[in-house]
Structure 1
Amino acid sequence: MTNFPWLTVIGLIPLIGAAVVAALPAGVADRAKHIALGTSVLTLVLGIAAALQFTSGSKQQFQLSEQHQWIPQFGVSYSVGVDGIALVMILMAVVLAPVCILAAWQDVPEGGKREKNYFALMLVLETFMVGVFAATDVFLFYVFFEAMLIPVYFLIGSYGGPRRQYAAVKFLLFSLAGGLVMLVGVIALYHYGPGGSEGFLVSKLTGLSIGVVPERLMFVAFFFAFAVKAPMWPVHTWLPDAATEARPATAVLLVGVLDKVGTFGMIRFCLQLFPEASKWATPVVLVLAVISVLYGALLAIGQTDVMRLIAYTSVSHFGFIVLGIFALTSTGGSGATLYMLNHGFSTAALFLIAAMLIARRGSKRIPDFGGWQRITPGLAGVFLVAGLSGLALPGLSSFVSEFLVLVGTFQRYKVAAVIATAGIVLAALYILLMYKRMMTGPEPDLSTSRERVLDITLREKVVVAPLIAAFLVLGFYPKPVLDVLNPAVARTLQYVGVTDPAPTVPTTADGSAK
Structure 2
Amino acid sequence: MTIDPTIPWLTILVVVPLVGALVLWALPASRLSLVRPVALGFSLVELVLVALAVAAFDTSAAGVHQLSEQHEWIPQIGASYALGVDGVALLLVVLSVLLVPLVIGAAWREQGVTAGEPGSEVALVGARRLRHYLALVLLLETCMVLIFAARDVFLFYVVFEAMLIPVYFMIGGFGEGARRRYAAIKFLIFSLAGGLIMLVAVIALFFQGPGGEQGFLTANLTGLEMAPVTERLLFLGFFLAFAIKAPMFPVHSWLPDAAEHAPAGTSVLLVGVLDKVGTFGMLTLCLPLFPGASQWAAPVIIVLAVISILYGALLALGQQDLMRLIAYTSVSHFGVIILGIFAFTEVSVAGSSFYMFNHGISTGLLFLIAGFIILRSPSGRSRNIADLGGLAKVTPVLAGTFLVAGLSALSLPGLSPFVSEILVFIGAFETNPVAAIVSAFVVILAALYILVTYQRIFTGPVRSELSSTPDLSGREKWVVAPLIAVLLIFGFYPAPALDLVRDPAAVSVAGVVTDGAIAEQSSDASTEGSDS
Equivalent position of 1:512 in the other structure: none
Post-superposition Cα deviations, 1:137-171, rounded to whole Å, max 9, x if no partner, equal 00000011001000000011100011110000000
Confirm or deny: 8 A CA contact 2:176 2:263 kept in the other structure.
yes
Which runs of 5 or more residues in structure 1 are unaligned? 500-514
Correspondence for 1:152 among 167, 175, 185: 167
Q: Does 1:139 align with 2:142?
A: no
TM-score, L = length of structure 2: 0.92
Q: CA deviation at 1:210?
A: 1.4
Q: Does 1:426 align with 2:441?
A: no
- Provide the rounded CA distance (Å) in 1 between the counterparts of 2:501 and 2:44: 25
Correspondence for 1:470 among 476, 479, 486: 486
Post-superposition Cα deviations, 1:273-293, rounded to whole Å, max 9, x if no partner, equal 000000000000000100000
Matching of residues 379-418 of structure 1 within 5 Å: 379-418=398-437
Q: Helix, strand or coil for the counterpart of 2:464? A: coil
Q: Helix, strand or coil for the counterpart of 2:57? A: coil
Confirm or deny: 8 A CA contact 1:56 1:487 kept in the other structure.
no
Q: Does 1:97 align with 2:133?
A: no
Correspondence for 1:456 among 447, 472, 477: 472
Post-superposition Cα deviations, 1:392-451, rounded to whole Å, max 9, x if no partner, equal 00111111111000000001001100110111111011001100111111122127x8xx
TM-score, L = length of structure 1: 0.95
Equivalent position of 2:118 in the other structure: none
Q: Helix, strand or coil for the counterpart of 1:373? A: helix
Q: CA deviation at 1:56?
A: 1.9
Q: Which amino acid aligns with 1:415?
A: V
Equivalent position of 1:195 in the other structure: 211
- Provide the rounded CA distance (Å) in 1 between the counterparts of 2:155 and 2:383: 39
Q: Which amino acid aligns with 2:422?
A: F
Q: CA deviation at 1:368?
A: 1.3
Equivalent position of 1:219 in the other structure: 235
Q: CA deviation at 1:339?
A: 0.5
- Provide the rounded CA distance (Å) in 2 between the counterparts of 1:351 and 1:2: 35
Q: Which amino acid aligns with 1:433?
A: V
Confirm or deny: 8 A CA contact 1:36 1:119 kept in the other structure.
yes
Q: Helix, strand or coil for the counterpart of 1:79? A: strand
Matching of residues 279-298 of structure 1 within 5 Å: 279-298=295-314
Equivalent position of 1:506 in the other structure: none
- Provide the rounded CA distance (Å) in 1 between the counterparts of 2:462 and 2:307: 39
Q: Which amino acid aligns with 2:456?
A: R
Q: CA deviation at 1:61?
A: 2.2
CA RMSD of aligned residues (A): 1.2
Q: Helix, strand or coil for the counterpart of 2:249? A: coil
Equivalent position of 1:310 in the other structure: 326
Which runs of 5 or more residues in structure 2 are unaligned? 114-125, 516-532
Equivalent position of 1:438 in the other structure: 457
Deviates more, 1:153-162 or 1:111-120: 111-120
Post-superposition Cα deviations, 1:330-358, rounded to whole Å, max 9, x if no partner, equal 01001101100000010011111111111
Q: CA deviation at 1:30?
A: 2.0
Matching of residues 162-241 of structure 1 within 5 Å: 162=177, 163-241=179-257
Q: Helix, strand or coil for the counterpart of 2:216? A: coil
Q: Which amino acid aligns with 2:149?
A: A
- Provide the rounded CA distance (Å) in 2 between the counterparts of 1:102 and 1:442: 31
Q: Does 1:245 align with 2:248?
A: no
Q: Which amino acid aligns with 2:154?
A: F
Q: CA deviation at 1:58?
A: 2.3
Confirm or deny: 8 A CA contact 2:183 2:258 kept in the other structure.
yes
Q: Which amino acid aligns with 1:468?
A: I
Q: Does 1:487 align with 2:490?
A: no
- Provide the rounded CA distance (Å) in 1 between the counterparts of 2:323 and 2:63: 42
Confirm or deny: 8 A CA contact 1:231 1:318 kept in the other structure.
yes
Matching of residues 72-111 of structure 1 within 5 Å: 72-110=75-113, 111=126
Matching of residues 47-86 of structure 1 within 5 Å: 47-58=50-61, 61-86=64-89
- Provide the rounded CA distance (Å) in 2 between the counterparts of 1:233 and 1:275: 23
Confirm or deny: 8 A CA contact 1:212 1:277 kept in the other structure.
yes
Confirm or deny: 8 A CA contact 1:103 1:460 kept in the other structure.
yes
Post-superposition Cα deviations, 1:81-137, rounded to whole Å, max 9, x if no partner, equal 000110000000000010111111111124232221111111000000000000000
Q: CA deviation at 1:75?
A: 0.6
Q: Does 1:10 align with 2:13?
A: yes
Confirm or deny: 8 A CA contact 1:399 1:475 kept in the other structure.
yes
Q: Which amino acid aligns with 2:133?
A: Y
Q: Which amino acid aligns with 1:83?
A: D
- Provide the rounded CA distance (Å) in 2 between the counterparts of 1:38 and 1:259: 26
- State how many pairs are aligned: 496
